[in-house]
Chain A
């Protein structure tokens, strides 16, 4: 396998883009990534997207985007892995370039969710769960996560407000990111007063419904030196899976897919949790951040809430997470989020994160999670 570098990044603002189509958003991000890289070369396009069939009525999405972006006749494929689609699209592109099948690959993660009312989006997101035995019973995606959070609170004597520190951290960092959706800081009182979605999960504990696109251009590291920008190296790319149904696991509070993809990535990059300077966590809900930090070796079982309480996840802490707002602060256009995470790690490793810069960042990790922890893609990047 060849070493692969990221030479261009692009992103739209995350927002409610009522006046723009899914193709419009993708084209803007792709154009920005190509301009950033300073090259028009592209041999293939990998699109990360979860819901274009459900919400835009458009499958064959990769062809639609290749066409709109004037990339024809290159190979173009949509990669779907629920909320982990963005990370999975980069992984597919990395496989193509590392193997030698392609030299220059574009990745775009895109989602357009705001054409629909909340009940339609809630039903669409529930397709990440088991259609027969979860979604078919009206058990929404948020509800499955709420079941996990309630059990965690029971097992570890935690209160709802103990989880607020994760939302506060994401919103504080989002305020420093001009592309983020929710740029207003929040307090513990705001968190407690926030309306309930599925008890004990409230609105400020959930990533919001929104639109956005983010893009990357990758190529072999040997060629990346000729690019306009100093490349960021992909030190590891890994994917692992777990049961589709949350109840079918030996212990629902131990996220094996998340742990497995992180372990594979640590092995390939020859690093451990202590070497990671920042971690873009899939913080769709605070309990997801908690279970992820425990599964990936940053905290012992039952102790991740302490990391947040002690400020260790903040920009100046020893394991900063969601440094440009994460899913909750930047916004979570589901199939795009995994690519936004990579764009943000590249910004950090280039030293271009502005007031959100993590000082001296050399090694960054990003992790996409789909379903209730049923699929996970982890990438480790090096400056």
Chain B
């Protein structure tokens, strides 16, 4: 990933920050500039809690360039507590039987191998949540 792109995406990558629409209160991740429902701009930053449930998952055997050294690895789609679905890598899945509906939580991990002309990229992954969340 190029350094400027990494910098642009830092709030989303580190804080799972999306946006919410002041008119209809819909929430979006990734962040959107224009609400698809109201077709208006002026959306505000909205950090998600990082808690959700697994909507679907897969284990990638044939990795794209830049991800070969970590293959095979698991990725999934997570239904966040606040509503949106997010596609993301899964972490700490060794020895765990993944299942649809299982609770997961966001963690910050290394996303991408260091490349010749790019930084080491850190960002969100989701891991199985083994204990219920503290109230």
Residues of A within 8 A of B (CB): 118-120, 122-123, 126, 130, 132-140, 142-144, 146-148, 150-151, 154, 195-201, 245-249, 252
Contacts and interface: CB of A to CB of B under 8 A. Distances in A.
Contact of A137 (B55, B59, B89): B89
Interface SS majority for chain B: strand
Contacts of A200: 58
B87 A247 contact: yes
A198 B56 contact: no
A199 B55 contact: no
Given A137-B89, A138-B111, A139-B87, A151 B64 contact: no
Contacts, number: 113
B123 interface: yes
Contacts of A134: 87
B87 A133 contact: yes
B61 A126 contact: no
A196 B75 CA distance: 15
A118 B89 CA distance: 21
B64 A138 contact: yes
B35 interface: no
Interface of B: 1, 5, 9, 12, 28, 30, 55-68, 70, 73, 75-77, 84-89, 100, 111-112, 121, 123
Contact of B62 (A140, A147, A150): A140
A133 B62 CA distance: 19
Contact of A150 (B12, B56, B61): B56
Given A147-B77, A150-B100, A138 B112 contact: yes
A27 B28 CA distance: 46
A198 B88 contact: no
A139 B100 CA distance: 18
Do most interface residues of chain A lie in helix, strand or loop, or is the interface mixed? helix
A134 B76 CA distance: 11
A196 B68 CA distance: 15
B112 A199 contact: no
Given A119-B63, A140-B64, A247-B77, A133 B89 contact: no
Contact of A146 (B58, B68, B84): B58
11 contacts: A122-B62, A122-B64, A123-B66, A132-B9, A135-B64, A137-B111, A138-B70, A147-B58, A147-B77, A196-B59, A247-B77
Contacts of B76: 147
A101 B18 CA distance: 45
Contacts of A151: 55-56, 77, 100
Nearest to B9: A132
Contact of B68 (A119, A201, A246): A119
B60 A136 contact: no
Given A132-B30, A245-B30, A245-B87, A199 B75 contact: no
Closest 3 CB pairs of A and B: A146-B58, A138-B67, A247-B85
Contacts of A122: 62-65
A183 B109 CA distance: 45
A139 B86 CA distance: 12
Contacts of A138: 60, 63-64, 66-67, 70, 73, 75, 89, 111-112
Contacts of B112: 136, 138
B3 to A, nearest CB: 13
B64 A123 contact: yes
Contacts of A150: 56-58, 100
A139 B75 contact: yes
Nearest to A132: B9
Contacts of A201: 58
A133 B65 contact: no
Contacts of B64: 119, 122-123, 126, 135, 138, 140
A138 to B, nearest CB: 4
A27 B77 CA distance: 43
Nearest to A147: B56
B75 A137 contact: yes
B76 to A, nearest CB: 7
A245 B77 CA distance: 11
B73 A198 contact: no
A143 B66 contact: no
